Amino acid sequence: MKTDKFYDYYSIFSLSRTMSTSEIKKQMRVYMEENRKQRVGVNRNNKEIIKRLDADQEIIRNALMALCYDEARKKYDKQLDSMPDASIIVKIDTNLNILDKEDELASTDVNNSVATEAVTDADKINFVDKQKQSGQDELESIIRNLVKETKQYFYNKEYYNCIAKAKDLFEYNIAYPFTITAKAYFMLGEYEASIDILTKGCRAFANNPNLRWLYIRYLIQMERYNEAQQLLNEAKRDFREDCLFDAEQVYLYLFAERDDLAIDEIKRYISNRPDDLIYREYLANNIIDISDLCYAYDLEAEMNIIADEYSYERCFNLLSIANQLYQNKTTVEKYENIKAFGVKYPDKSTMVWQVVYGIVAVASLWAVFSGAYPMIILTILFSVFIVVIRKYSLRALWQIYRDKYRGIAEYEDNILYMIAMIPRDFVKSLIVR
């Protein structure tokens, strides 16, 4: 008999069952941010890594829903304890190193004096023409081994070791050490250092589109929009046949929350090149990146959530566009998930009281028909109370999770709802006595 696999989130994310919910939220936020920042800097052609990071993000979000509010955590712990060991997954394959297909030897030939000047200005790194010292095969073997080590450090989250090892690659005339060093600094939160190394790299390798793209992407992340736009204009001129930068123009508009400009840009490009599937795929991945920003940190919930109607609507609209532009498993799943998050459900805890109020309203109406006409006031009052309770306790799924993470339903602070629940509170006070 086949047994379904069950994720042990405690083991996967190095959590302890003795940790408080607040402590778990804090640690899980680190994993979520790490995932987001890695995805931001992934070359758009590196589909396998993007796919893996999307899958990891889904596991992280499922872990949040299972562990980050008491009711769900108790249910999850009970399930975990009841599962046979053979069906429990205690780790996930996060070895992105083997999926990293970026060609580290691919760099556009440049004038060595230009490359040397660009680097020497800042940190006195000198290029040496190693091709004169050894054969091409031996040289490539040396470079690939060094690259392998830097990647291993990077994907093991040993970013300072990655930076140190990448220094050994600067003496070879390739763009890769600029890329991996910038990414490592970005993951460490040392954004200015990341931009600084990319500035040098793009001066040295002006014809490298991937390095230029990463430079623009990180400037956008730092909200340096004017600089990013200037570089985008240059890139679109220098790489006319590469739609990567046209897709990045949309990313800039969306990151700056100028969705109107983004939509106009999409329409303009597609009207001219309706069959450009590469552009559509780049764009879908960019839009998915932006949709993640709709999950913002919420002080009350102590985690990144969709906290309001605007954020949900924007996330829904973005993923709808991504799914329309380019359909694959990821875009379809993300669209279906966000659509499901908008479905409204009644709060079960209020349904009992709606029934009680209904009984009171019907009994009062019966009394009216029996001659007790003043009871019509109770009939009207409790009928209104039912409408109010139903209106405010009927919530979309994203609101339900938001309220569970916060520990209190937002509608309970609404003045009309509080008035409608006065009879309930009165009855409860009598029971307590």
For position 113, what pLDDT does the model report?
38
Q: Is 163 exposed, middle or buried (0-12, 13-18, 19+ CB in 10 A)?
A: buried
The model's pLDDT over 391-428, given as tens digits with 9 standing for 90+, comes to 777 889 999 899 889 888 777 777 887 888 788 877 77
Residue 22 lies in a domain: yes
Averaged pLDDT of the chain = 86
- What is the percent of the chain where pLDDT is above 70? 88
Burial 191-224 (b: 16+ CB within 10 A, else e): bebbbbbbbbbbbbbbebbbbbbbbbbbbbbeeb
Q: 111 and 203: one domain?
A: yes
Residue 349 lies in a domain: yes
State the DSSP string of 185-206.
HHHTT-HHHHHHHHHHHHHH-T
Q: 128 and 87: one domain?
A: no
* Listed ranges 88-102, 142-156, 183-197, 377-391; the one with the highest mean pLDDT: 183-197
For position 433, what pLDDT does the model report?
57
1 has a pLDDT exceeding 60: no
Residue 176 lies in a domain: yes
Q: Residue 50 is encoded by which pair of tokens? A: 């993007």
Q: 6 forms bridges with which residues in the sheet?
A: 88
How many whole angstroms separate alpha carbon 231 and alpha carbon 201? 14
Q: 10 and 91: one domain?
A: yes
The model's pLDDT over 139-163, given as tens digits with 9 standing for 90+, comes to 888 888 999 999 999 988 999 999 9
Number of structural domains the chain divides into? 3
Q: 88 and 131: one domain?
A: no
- CATH no. for residue 54? 1.10.287
State the DSSP string of 344-367.
EEE-HHHHHHHHHHHHHHHHHHHH
For position 106, what pLDDT does the model report?
55
State the DSSP string of 271-290.
HH-TT-HHHHHHHHHHHHHH
Q: 76 and 129: one domain?
A: no
Confidence band of 124 (pLDDT split at 50, 70, 90): very low
For position 208, what pLDDT does the model report?
93
The model's pLDDT over 15-65, given as tens digits with 9 standing for 90+, comes to 999 999 999 999 999 999 999 999 899 888 888 888 888 889 999 999 999
Is 113 or 105 the better-scoring residue by pLDDT?
Answer: 105
Confidence band of 105 (pLDDT split at 50, 70, 90): low
Residues 6 or more apart from 308 whose CB is under 8 A from it? none
Looking at residue 359, its amino acid is I
Confidence band of 127 (pLDDT split at 50, 70, 90): very low
What sign has the CA pseudo-torsion 234, 240, 242, 247? positive
Residue 70 lies in a domain: yes
Residue 334 lies in a domain: no
- CATH no. for residue 138? 1.25.40
Is 114 or 100 the better-scoring residue by pLDDT?
Answer: 100
Q: Check residue 34 and report its DSSP letter.
A: H
Q: 121 and 215: one domain?
A: yes
The model's pLDDT over 344-353, given as tens digits with 9 standing for 90+, comes to 988 877 888 8
Q: Check residue 123 and report its DSSP letter.
A: H
**Alpha-helical segments (H) within 83-157:** 112-123, 136-155
Domain boundary among 202, 221, 240: 221
Do residues 33 and 200 lie in contact, with contact meaning Cβ atoms separated by under 8 Å? no
Residue 303 lies in a domain: no
Q: Residue 275 is encoded by which pair of tokens? A: 């069959």
User: Taking every pair of C-alpha atoms in the chain, what is the biggest distance, in angstroms?
Assistant: 110
Domain boundary among 184, 205, 221: 221
Is 279 or 383 the better-scoring residue by pLDDT?
Answer: 279
The model's pLDDT over 320-344, given as tens digits with 9 standing for 90+, comes to 999 999 999 999 999 999 999 999 9
Is 98 or 388 the better-scoring residue by pLDDT?
Answer: 388
Q: 92 and 119: one domain?
A: no
Q: 77 and 120: one domain?
A: no
For position 95, what pLDDT does the model report?
61
List the domain range (segments joined by +) for residue 423.
344-432
Residue 406 lies in a domain: yes
> Which helix (H) or strand (E) covers residue 245, if one does?
helix 244-255
In the block, residue with structure tokens 């985008």: 232
Residue 148 lies in a domain: yes
Q: 132 and 80: one domain?
A: no
Domain boundary among 165, 190, 221: 221
Residues 6 or more apart from 233 whose CB is under 8 A from it? none
Q: 47 and 124: one domain?
A: no
Q: Check residue 18 and report its DSSP letter.
A: T
For the ranges 69-78, 170-179, 266-275, 390-399, the lowest mean pLDDT is seen at 390-399
Q: 132 and 214: one domain?
A: yes
CA-to-CA dists, residue 390 to 31, 307, 393, 419, angstroms: 38, 21, 5, 14
- Show the CA angle centred on residue 230, arms to residues 229 and 231, nearest 5°: 90
Q: 125 and 41: one domain?
A: no
Neighbouring CB atoms inside 10 A of 71's CB total 8
Confidence band of 90 (pLDDT split at 50, 70, 90): confident
